[in-house]
């Protein structure tokens, strides 16, 4: 029954279903659609930045709107829903329950995403994905800005509802024979990332309301002209969005915890170290938010506290990396597409983490802050780690959803192009940042180093773009015409899988 | 889980923690030194607004988009903004601090080389953010 696409059903049957695999499929298709849309915007930006002067985009306002929607789309409409997609498929199976705890709430949480996406895309706001006041209060043009605020508000509620569902499913509906300590690490990933969501996201929800009333002139929380303080918004924002980094990255690490042991044909090196690292990240993730704000004029003491809080998160991430490598060590590894993505993901995760240590060290942050270094740094996380983990898992999951195999050759070509492209784009951006190029600029002076590096970055971006086009072809063609998969062991690995079709209560 | 030894992981985590302690201590120490403003630093008031920088020297001289300073002297910038948040940046001298409306942030520097250096805005501030640039001109009065 998993095989939603193998046994065709009328689309409305999937759309109005509350079954967890159907909701998971809706999440998956939506998030991948937004991934391609957001990625296409990135290509427009790279065409414009290929060299100084106007290339493609006629004015800076359009450029500003494009990078805002690019960021918002990929974070909120691709990464979050894609994590929910696999969570919906797998969490009930992993805790041996018939469905999510609240199936209707689950469908509601999904159906809040399309209207929110429509608000964001129809509005096309320009104030960057973090909408700092006072620009967002006194200067950003409406109604785009207001539509963005409402869109994000809806997405915030959606992710809170989704998280409640995951936490209750795991804590209350888990089979009594399965102790929490033996639960698969991917389920642990959903438990911890959902708990972070529940603590972190309400803060931003409050900040959004304050931003909206400020824009309407009814209040002045963030407007110094009315006695407010714009830095207060940054604290509220980053209190949500630094932990959000962990909300995004923890499921991707969970995917890797499924992929590595499976394709290494060896158990995870240390289940308990994985659990410990997830738990540690959940806690210390809340101790570092203001490291995004060193340059706002913070005192030496504040900066020191948040530097220590930031560095404290590194050992937990390092434990995951160790666990992955130790799992592969001595295993009979089958280098199919999913594990290639996961291995690439760890390499880039490590690079991103090393760059993060540089950012968190106070004196160095003043070199890198708001430059292209930062753009390269967080893209190594969101693309290099999270997208790589997620895409690897999409390949891993493909036979279970469609009943067919994807094209292994195209999958590997996609990986190689994406890996080469990612290194070209985001490593170069680090160096470009050291040469002082600020982020979020529509045009730049013809400084020779800047021009050369921008050309390299744009070429890398087109390489990624070609890879993604191949991915799209592979997904569509293989789901219709791919060769039927051996559903007991699609990758020929032997051993025990979590089959989505083991889901109980297939139709209700 | 599988009965293997766990000491490699402990050693690895220990090494990582030691490295981080070193980075943290060194960063703390350097930041402490660079934040210490010399007593004789001249004050320059910097105001950011969409989309220009204006400067006011201690003697009352005002400049727009250009800032003239002398080699070897210490200067303390008092940075604020008239409208939205900007970020005052002279990349070659690692001067970077946000210009926040309603607040005055301070940072100091001492130019060591004669010549022209770019001043730019590093915080998104709207339409012409990309071109909110200025020039720092370092002169050698003694020569």
A48-60 pLDDT, tens digit per residue, is 999 999 999 989 9
* Mean pLDDT over each residue of chain A, to the nearest integer: 91
Residue closest to A202 by CA, chosen among A153, A249, A162, A168:
A153
Confidence of residue B137 (pLDDT cuts 50, 70, 90): very high
- What integer pLDDT is reported at residue B3 of this predicted model? 53
Segment of A3-17, A186-200, A390-404 carrying the highest mean pLDDT: A186-200
**Residue A227 in this model has a pLDDT that exceeds 50:** yes
* pLDDT recorded at residue A43: 96
The CA distance from A55 to B61, in Å, is 40
CA distance A219 to A216: 8
Q: Write B6-12 long-range contacts (CB < 8 A, 24+).
A: B6/A270, B6/A273, B8/A322, B8/A326, B9/A269, B9/A270, B9/A273, B9/A319, B9/A322, B9/A323, B9/A326, B12/A318, B12/A322
What proportion of chain A, given as a percentage, has pLDDT over 70?
Answer: 96
Residue reference for tokens 């990349």: B91
* Confidence (pLDDT) at A446: 93
Q: B86-90 and B75-81: which strand pairing?
A: unpaired
Q: Which residues of B touch A367 (CB under 8 A)?
A: 91, 94, 96
Q: How many CB atoms lie within 10 A of CB A483?
A: 10
pLDDT score at A10: 82
What is the per-residue pLDDT for A400?
A: 85
A273-323 pLDDT per residue, tens: 999 999 999 999 999 999 999 999 999 999 999 999 999 989 999 999 999
Per-residue pLDDT at A503: 42
How is residue A71 written in tokens?
Answer: 């960021």
Reported as a single tens digit per residue, the pLDDT across B80-99 is 999 999 999 999 999 999 99
Burial code of B5-29, b = ≥16 C-beta within 10 A, e = fewer? eeeebeebbeebeeebeebbeebbe
**A267, burial (CB in 10 Å: exposed 0-12, middle 13-18, buried 19+):** middle
| pLDDT value of position A501 | 42
Question: Does position A497 have pLDDT exceeding 80, yes or no?
Answer: no
Residue of chain B whose alpha carbon sits nearest to that of A311: B20
Interchain contact, B17 vs A369, CB within 8 Å: no
**Count of Cβ atoms closer than 10 Å to residue A53 Cβ:** 9
Does residue A233 have a pLDDT over 70?
A: yes
Question: How does pLDDT run across A449-485, given as a tens digit for each residue?
Answer: 999 999 999 999 999 999 999 999 999 999 888 998 8
At residue A2 the predicted structure's pLDDT band, cuts being 50, 70 and 90, is very low
- Say if residue A249's pLDDT is above 70: yes
Any idea which of A3-7, A117-121, A245-249, B137-141 has the lowest mean pLDDT? A3-7
Average pLDDT over residues A429-440: 95
Residue A5, pLDDT > 90, answer no
- With left for phi above 0 and alpha for psi between -120 and 50, is residue A505 left, alpha or beta? left
- In angstroms, what separates the C-alpha of A443 from chain B's closest C-alpha? 6
Instruction: Kindly report the nearest CA distance between residue A8 and chain B, in angstroms.
Output: 42
Q: Which of the residues A366, A371, A434, A448 would you substitute to probe the B interface, choosing the one with the greatest number of B C-beta atoms within 10 Å?
A: A366
| Domain spans of chain B, in order of start | 1-36, 42-139
For residue A472, what are the CA distances in angstroms to A40, A70, A344, A391? Answer: 12, 19, 20, 12
The full set of domains in chain A, from first to last, is: 17-493 (1.20.210.10)
Give the C-alpha distances (Å, rounded to integers) separating B58 from A83, A242, B47, B76, B116: 56, 40, 14, 10, 21
Q: Which two tokens stand for residue A146?
A: 């207001």
Kindly determine whether residue A271 and residue B28, on different chains, have CB atoms separated by under 8 Å.
no
- pLDDT tens-digit map of B1-40: 445 677 888 899 999 999 999 999 999 999 999 889 999 9
Length of chain B in terms of residues written: 143
Cα dihedral across residues A27, A191, A348, A307: positive or negative:
positive
- Is residue A151 scored above 60 in pLDDT? yes
The fold of B42-139 is Immunoglobulin-like (2.60.40)
Order of strands across the sheet that contains B134-139: B66-70, B134-139, B115-121, B86-90, B95-99
CB contact under 8 A, B96 and A367: yes
Whether pLDDT at A502 is above 60: no
> Alpha carbon A73 to chain centroid distance?
10
Here the ipTM equals: 0.92
pLDDT of A303 reads 93
**The pLDDT value given to residue B4:** 64
Average pLDDT over residues A200-226: 94
Cross-chain CB nearest to A224 (options B24, B102, B130): B102
pTM of the model: 0.93
Residues on chain B touching A360 (C-beta within 8 angstroms) = 27
DSSP A423: I
Cα torsion at B35, B36, B42, B45 (round to 10°)? Answer: 30
């Amino acid at each position: 029954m998993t095989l939603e696409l193998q046994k065709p059903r009328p689309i409305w049957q999937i759309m109005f279903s509350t079954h967890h695999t159907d909701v998971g499929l809706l999440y998956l298709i939506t998030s991948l659609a937004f991934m391609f849309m957001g990625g296409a915007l990135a290509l427009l930006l790279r065409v414009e930045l290929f060299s100084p002067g106007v290339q493609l985009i006629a004015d800076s306002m359009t450029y500003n709107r494009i990078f805002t929607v690019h960021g918002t789309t990929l974070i909120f409409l691709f990464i979050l829903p894609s994590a929910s997609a696999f969570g919906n498929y797998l969490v009930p199976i992993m805790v041996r329950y018939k469905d999510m705890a609240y199936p209707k709430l689950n469908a509601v949480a999904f159906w809040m995403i399309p209207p929110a996406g429509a608000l964001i895309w129809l509005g096309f706001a320009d104030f960057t994905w973090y909408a700092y006041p006072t620009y967002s209060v006194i200067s950003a043009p409406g109604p785009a800005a207001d539509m963005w605020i409402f869109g994000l508000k809806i997405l915030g509620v959606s992710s809170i509802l989704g998280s409640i569902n995951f936490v209750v499913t795991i804590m209350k509906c888990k089979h009594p024979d399965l102790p929490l300590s033996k639960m698969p690490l991917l389920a642990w990933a959903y438990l911890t990332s959902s708990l972070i969501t529940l603590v972190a996201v309400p803060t931003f929800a409050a900040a959004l309301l304050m931003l909206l009333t400020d824009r309407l002139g009814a209040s002045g929380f963030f407007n110094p002209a009315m006695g407010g303080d714009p830095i207060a918004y940054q604290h509220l924002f980053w209190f949500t969005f630094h932990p959000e980094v962990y909300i995004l990255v923890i499921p991707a690490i969970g995917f890797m915890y499924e992929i590595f042991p499976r394709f290494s044909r060896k158990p995870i090196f240390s289940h308990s170290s994985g659990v410990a690292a997830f738990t540690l990240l959940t806690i210390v993730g809340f101790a570092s938010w203001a490291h995004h704000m060193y340059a706002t004029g913070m005192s030496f003491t504040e900066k020191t506290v948040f530097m220590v809080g930031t560095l404290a998160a590194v050992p937990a991430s390092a434990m995951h990396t160790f666990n992955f490598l130790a799992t592969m060590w001595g295993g009979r590894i089958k280098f199919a597409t999913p594990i290639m993505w996961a291995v690439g993901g760890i390499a880039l995760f490590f690079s991103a983490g090393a760059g993060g240590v540089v950012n968190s060290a106070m004196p160095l942050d003043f070199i890198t802050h708001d430059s292209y270094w930062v753009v390269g740094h967080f893209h190594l996380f969101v693309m290099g780690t999270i997208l790589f983990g997620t895409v690897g898992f999409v390949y891993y999951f493909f036979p279970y959803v469609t009943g067919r195999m994807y094209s292994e050759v195209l999958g590997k070509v996609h990986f190689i192009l994406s890996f080469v492209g990612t290194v070209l784009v985001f490593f170069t951006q680090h160096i470009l940042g050291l040469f002082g190029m600020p982020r979020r600029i529509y045009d730049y002076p013809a400084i020779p180093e800047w021009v050369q590096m921008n050309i390299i970055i744009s070429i890398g971006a087109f390489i990624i773009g070609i890879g993604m086009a191949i991915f799209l072809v592979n997904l569509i063609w293989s789901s219709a015409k791919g060769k039927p998969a051996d559903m007991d062991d699609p990758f020929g690995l032997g051993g025990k899988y979590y089959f989505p079709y083991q889901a109980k209560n297939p139709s209700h | 889980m599988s009965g293997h030894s766990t000491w490699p992981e402990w050693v690895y985590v220990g090494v990582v923690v030691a490295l981080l302690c070193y980075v943290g201590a060194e960063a703390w120490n350097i930041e402490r030194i660079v934040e210490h403003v010399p007593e004789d630093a001249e004050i320059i008031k910097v105001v950011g607004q969409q989309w220009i920088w204006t400067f006011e020297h201690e003697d009352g001289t005002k400049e727009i988009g250009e800032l003239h300073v002398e080699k070897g002297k210490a200067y303390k910038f008092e940075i604020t903004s008239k409208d939205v948040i900007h970020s005052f940046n002279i990349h070659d001298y690692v001067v970077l601090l946000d210009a926040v409306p309603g607040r005055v942030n301070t940072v100091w520097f001492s130019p060591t080389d004669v010549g022209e250096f770019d001043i730019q805005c590093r915080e998104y501030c709207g339409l012409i953010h990309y071109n909110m640039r200025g020039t720092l001109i370092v002169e050698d009065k003694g020569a």
